[in-house]
Amino acid sequence: MTSTARLTLDPAFLIGPVEPRLFGSFVEHMGRCVYTGIFEPGHPLADADGFRTDVLELTRELGVTLVRYPGGNFVSNYRWEDGVGPVEERPARLDLAWRSLEDNSFGLNEFMAWAARAGIEPMMALNLGTRGVAEALELVEYANYPGGTRLSDLRRAHGVDKPHDIRLWCLGNELDGPWQMGHKTAREYGRLAAETARALRRLDPGVSLVACGSSNSGMPTFGQWEAEVLESAYDLVDYISLHAYYDPADGDVDSFLASGADMEHMIRSIAATADHVGAKLRSRRKIKLSFDEWNVWYQSRFGGEASLEWAEHPRLIENVYDVTDAVVVGSLLITLLRNADRVGVACQAQLANVIAPIMTEPGGPAWRQSIFHPFALTARNARGQVLRVEPECTSVSTDKYGEAPAIWATATLDDTGEITLFVVNRDRRGPCELRVALPQGLLPAEHLELADDDLSAVNSAADPDRVAPRPGTGLRMDGRDATLTLPPVSWTMIRFAPQE
């Protein structure tokens, strides 16, 4: 059954600028994200610092602009001092988050050297689980103070003369979660976040700070946690974080395909919560949202931390993504852009091997998973301003979210007048005939599509390009309107360029 839909691209309806920080990623000391992911001394393609150059190239191709580090749950029991200084003197430690043995051969200065080579902005997380204000201050002094103090001089003694000048800091990670080392109540965390923020701003007034929001929207304190934390820290932080993982193996496929609509509901709920606190405080500031962990994750297949045996960089949650997963990732990126007036930072979790767009084999190749493609194309082509796009379309019934629109879309307008449309057909029942009303003088310049007769197709080391975007067909102009057929469960990108 073919459905129909229409949408209008109008340069007058602007949401806000495309913030480059929306195309962030995440490197955690977890499984093989760092070790044998981005860092593998001795690999045939490793550079002199042990960074895998094949992974660096893929990171640049992915278009990642920012990377959050070093966790995640890992950070809540991490001592940053263990990861700096001469490697042979660094202690081995137990990582309690993932029951892993951490040799600390990769730490802050290695990450910053890697970040420079990858051309990304660092986003650093502080341990506010087992540690507090003093240790946070020490890390920021080591990283950002030019010199002449014990910790800034220690950095210089470690071979890093100029300060790292890290602008973006997370005040802990998921501290509402009972699985977190140093888990806290909202009151306890709100006070700690406020006091840490106050002290850090005294040390470095130029930092931007992210307070922890809920670990996910299913937490019993979702909404209440954000309100209580912001009541303590509203004037001292810039962002509140959101985390969401969508599990294809948990529930019906139509709900999974509607994940982008759920993400939008979550964003708008937390924006409203933050604004409610702002109103009560008579504040004119707006707290922005940092969606600093999002992705598809087959979480129900993970036995949990307690099921893990102690090991050194084990294979953890190395999910293999199929076509449907890629379409959902494309729709989550559409949601982030649709809410670009409120979401200032976003990080897909994670970059390599651990629920990641980039896979590697130790000593072997690196390749792109299916989810790599919508991310890379969106990061490369979403430029300028986001346009408000509201398709008229049919809906799909879902078990979890009720009726969800079958067509999910956003568009951006750059300063040359080019408009790029990103659109997903979430309907499994059939294709959709889409009519796009365009401004005068625009013609299609590029049309790419991610779709497949086999929705369970995946990429692998042996067949790395099985799932990839292909040129779309059948796009035609009808006056100023473009019409095309969106295959069922598909992600499409079309660039419309001004006529020469």
Which one from 19, 141, 226, 293 is the annotated catalytic residue? 293
State the DSSP H helix or E strand holding residue 116, giving kind and residue range, or none if neither. helix 108-118
Query: Site residues for ligand AHR, window 335-374 (CB under 6 A)?
Result: 349-350
Least distance in Å: CB of 96 to ligand AHR?
Answer: 12
Q: Where do the H-state alpha helices sit in 18-52? A: none
CA distance 36 to 186: 37
Q: Classify residue 340 as exposed, middle or buried by CB count within 10 Å of its CB (0-12, 13-18, 19+).
A: buried
Least distance in Å: CB of 303 to ligand AHR?
Answer: 14
Q: Tell me if 213 contacts ligand AHR by CB under 6 A.
A: no
Site size for ligand AHR, by CB under 6 A? 11
CA distance 363 to 368: 17
Q: Are 90 and 104 in contact (CB under 8 A)?
A: yes
Least distance in Å: CB of 189 to ligand AHR?
Answer: 15
Q: Tell me if 228 contacts ligand AHR by CB under 6 A.
A: no
Q: Tell me if 173 contacts ligand AHR by CB under 6 A.
A: yes
- Of 135 and 293, which has the nearer Cβ to ligand AHR? 293
Residue of 110, 176, 228, 293 that binds ligand AHR (CB under 6 A): 293
- Of 72 and 374, which has the nearer Cβ to ligand AHR? 72
Least distance in Å: CB of 306 to ligand AHR?
Answer: 15
Q: Tell me if 209 contacts ligand AHR by CB under 6 A.
A: no
When CB distances to ligand AHR are compared, the closest residue is 72
DSSP state of 247: -
- Of 369 and 412, which has the nearer Cβ to ligand AHR? 369
Least distance in Å: CB of 345 to ligand AHR?
Answer: 15
Least distance in Å: CB of 213 to ligand AHR?
Answer: 12
Cis previous bond, 348, omega within 30: no
CA distance 389 to 211: 31
Q: Tell me if 28 contacts ligand AHR by CB under 6 A.
A: yes
Q: Where do the H-state alpha helices sit in 158-257? A: 186-203, 224-233, 253-257
Q: Which residue has the tokens 């044998």?
A: 36
Q: Which residues contact 48 (CB under 8 A, 6 or more apart)?
A: none
Q: Is 81 a catalytic residue?
A: no
End-to-end CA distance of the chain: 38
Which one from 174, 264, 418, 449 is the annotated catalytic residue? 174
Q: Are 293 and 245 in contact (CB under 8 A)?
A: yes
Cα separations (Å) of 283 from 238, 240, 276, 278? Answer: 13, 16, 10, 5
- Of 215 and 331, which has the nearer Cβ to ligand AHR? 215
Residue of 174, 176, 204, 449 that binds ligand AHR (CB under 6 A): 174
Closest CA to 356 of 32, 4, 12, 13: 32
- Of 299 and 483, which has the nearer Cβ to ligand AHR? 299
Q: Are 385 and 15 in contact (CB under 8 A)?
A: yes
Rounded to the nearest 5 degrees, what angle is found at the Cα of 10, between the Cα atoms of 335 and 267?
A: 20
Q: Is 293 a catalytic residue?
A: yes
- Of 3 and 353, which has the nearer Cβ to ligand AHR? 353
Least distance in Å: CB of 24 to ligand AHR?
Answer: 13
What track of x and - describes contact with ligand AHR for positions 38 through 77 (by CB under 6 A)? ---------------------------------xxx----
In the chain, the amino acid numbered 274 is A
- Of 71 and 248, which has the nearer Cβ to ligand AHR? 71
Q: Under the rule (CB under 6 A), what is the footprint of ligand AHR?
A: 28, 30, 71-73, 173-174, 215, 293, 349-350
